[in-house]
Amino acid sequence: MKQNKSHHLEKKLSPSREDYLKAIYKLSKKSKLVRSIDIAVYLGVTKPSVHSAVTELQEEGLVIKPLGGEIQLTEEGRKQGEIITDKYQIIRQFLITCCHVDELIASADACKMEHVISNDAIFAIKKYLRIEQGEAF
């Protein structure tokens, strides 16, 4: 049993699945249970795309979706959603504050970068921002 659980934790999600998880995380901050249509509208995708992504996230143990029910994050899903969201926010803040990148461009680039940047690099950027901005995070 332990091997299977660690397998889920070690497997890296695709950037697309991370985007879905981040969307579910953000939407769940407003309402604990999230509907497929909410995700579709938020990401600008079709309901069949949401269904496919949610099925994969459920297989990974990151969400729970009873048949015909609303989507809810598992504890692990919530943790990973929070990590992905934090990465995005840190990168975006760094690009805007330190590199003087336009906010719209910084947002788009941070969304791409969050999928490939290492945790070590994120921690270094976060530390740098705290020093430069006096504990901004």
Report CA Rg, the chain: 16
Q: Let me know how long the chain is.
A: 137
Nearest residue to 125 via CA among 102, 107, 99: 99
Q: Write phi, then psi, for 32 (nearest 5 degrees).
A: -55, -40
**Mean of the per-residue pLDDT values for the chain?**
88
pTM: 0.81
Query: What percentage of the chain reaches a pLDDT higher than 90?
Result: 77
- The pLDDT value given to residue 135: 53
Instruction: Report whether pLDDT(126) > 80.
Output: yes
pLDDT digits (tens, 9 = 90+) for 94-121: 999 999 999 999 999 999 999 999 989 9
| Look-up of token digits 């297989």 | 59
Instruction: Report whether pLDDT(73) > 90.
Output: yes
Residues 6+ apart with CB under 8 A from 52: none
Instruction: Report whether pLDDT(6) > 90.
Output: no
